[in-house]
Amino acid sequence: MALDITPLFAPLSIKHRLLRNRLVMPPMVVNRGIISPEGITWYERRARGGASLVIVEATWITRFGQELTAENLRPLVVAMHEAGALAAIQLFAATSDGARSPAELSRTDIDTLIDDYARAAEICAEAGFDGIEPHGAHGYLLNRFFSPVQNERTDEYGGDTLENRSRLALRIVQAVAPICGPDMFLLYRHTPVGQGYGLQDSLLLGAALINAGVDILDISPASVEAPGDLAAPFRRLGVPVIAVNEMDRLERAVEAITEKRADLVAIGRGLIADPDWPLKIRYNRMEDILSCIRCDDCHVDLRQGRFVRCSQWEEEP
């Protein structure tokens, strides 16, 4: 019996923005730069392939203001808009001295980090982005603040209390939410189970983030067994939720949406391999899809600083 793909192509309204379907391209660093001709072409091509929302790769907040400006980011946004997709960008917590541990940051460093987020958000808003996403997942700096194992601070940004471990994420959201205003949506990426914390702590954080202004929760990763299972509990918090993990396997994407475990599904390596995955699914051209074979060559390219490519390409699509 053929899968019913209609739920994947139902529109979704968030604030004053309309997503044309439930398919998202998640942020993936591809070593092309985001304002270079190669980078703009990369993102425009994935937007043209039918994704409703394209999230530009993790970008250090310290790059905004000099290297990255509203003027030189605008062509990237325009290219994605003209291709029919909404455009968001993931903002990656970085400090000028490269500090990677919560304990390494002074309170002045923390205040500067929050100011850098606000400046980045202002520039993104001026450039025309539809959304911004602080990266609070996968063991990076913001996630380390949330982890009672990795956060060794003893002040109001650390210790044993959930309130203290959530404080930095909430201050960042409180700083950027007014900049997003009524039109630009605010995402937050979070890993639901991590070092020293579990799902219940994450749900409390999610509720606090929403209260502070988050519009979409991007939950990463998920299990292989049940697509979207770790995202599902967050749906009861009342905002759209993105689920990830092998969603280019069509049956998994359909299951996550139809079983109401997620509102949106993110397709990563599948859109590296074939940027037209959404359109080919939509128009029943499944046999034409260039599928990711999980060879990991793209990740090898990433680690070695080369343009990320797919081993299945005869030429770049």
Q: What is the pLDDT of residues 75-108, one digit of tens each?
A: 999 999 999 999 999 999 988 777 789 999 999 9
Contact partners, residue 302, CB within 8 Å, separation at least 6 = 29, 30, 31, 308
Three-state DSSP at 277 gives helix
Residues 101-134 have pLDDT tens digits of 999 999 999 999 999 999 999 999 999 999 999 9
In this prediction, residue 1 has a pLDDT band, given cuts at 50, 70 and 90, of low
Catalytic residues: 140
Model confidence at 165: pLDDT above 80: yes
- φ/ψ of 157, rounded to 5, equals -105, 10
Three-state DSSP at 264 gives strand
- Model pLDDT, residue 99: 75
Alpha helices of 31-161 — where are they, by DSSP H? 37-48, 70-82, 107-127, 141-146
In this prediction, residue 160 has a pLDDT band, given cuts at 50, 70 and 90, of confident
Model confidence at 31: pLDDT above 70: yes
pTM above 0.85, yes or no: yes
Cα dihedral 120, 124, 125, 126, rounded to 10, equals 100
Exposure string of 135-149, with b = 16+ CB inside 10 Å and e = fewer, is: bbbeebbbbbbbbbe
The tokens for 26 are: 């998640």
User: What's the topology of domain 6-303?
Assistant: TIM Barrel (3.20.20)
Average pLDDT over the chain, rounded to whole? 96
Domain ranges across the chain:
6-303
Model confidence at 222: pLDDT above 90: no
